[in-house]
Amino acid sequence: MSNFPLSAGLYLAQHGTEVVLIKITGRYPTLQLGKSVDISALISGGDVKPASKEQLSHMIAFPSNWKFQPLPSIDISVFPKTCFRPDGFVDIQYDELVNMQATYYRLIQQGIPYSDIMRALVYEYNLPMDQVRKLVNDFDKRA
């Protein structure tokens, strides 16, 4: 595989003697390079170090010069869904969003404190607090 990857995940990228382990986040066509490690030095007996900005820029500008190989033996499904999103947010379906909004309004009407509602929504929908806060703010704007 020589083109830039089309899905999030872990990849080995090689350009000559440079070998970089990269984490790609997001969804096509807006994929982004996440954390990356230059393992060329490790291969030649040195220490592992972060990939340089020049290497990452070169991957983006000239993906045809790099060979990208996915690491299928690493089960990324065991990691939180937010690990492979650049914004750290989880994709939620429309019906789940409507259900969450109805739950939020019901809890507000019951007089439950805002902080308790937020924690309950984080727990119930297994979402990051920042995402719940953003969604609740959107609910309030639409109301």
Instruction: Flag whether 87 is in a domain.
Output: no
Domain that holds residue 24: 9-77
Contact 32, 22 (CB under 8 A): no
Q: 103 and 52 in one domain? A: no
Contact 18, 67 (CB under 8 A): no
Q: Which helix (H) or strand (E) holds 49?
A: strand 49-50
Q: Tell me the per-residue pLDDT of 54-94, one tens digit each, with 9 for 90 and over.
A: 998 898 889 899 999 998 887 777 766 656 665 667 777 78
pTM for the structure as a whole: 0.57
Instruction: Flag whether 85 is in a domain.
Output: no
pLDDT of residue 1: 44
Q: 13 and 67 in one domain? A: yes
pLDDT of residue 106: 93
Q: 68 and 19 in one domain? A: yes
120: buried, middle or exposed (CB in 10 Å: 19+, 13-18, 0-12)? middle
Q: Tell me the per-residue pLDDT of 8-65, one tens digit each, with 9 for 90 and over.
A: 888 999 999 999 999 887 777 677 787 899 999 888 888 889 999 999 889 888 989 9
pLDDT of residue 31: 78
Instruction: Flag whether 68 is in a domain.
Output: yes
* Closest listed residue to residue 121, CA positions, set 96, 143, 91: 96
Query: What's the CA gap between 99 and 77, in Å, rounded?
Result: 25
pLDDT of residue 82: 58
Domain count for the chain, please give it. Answer: 2
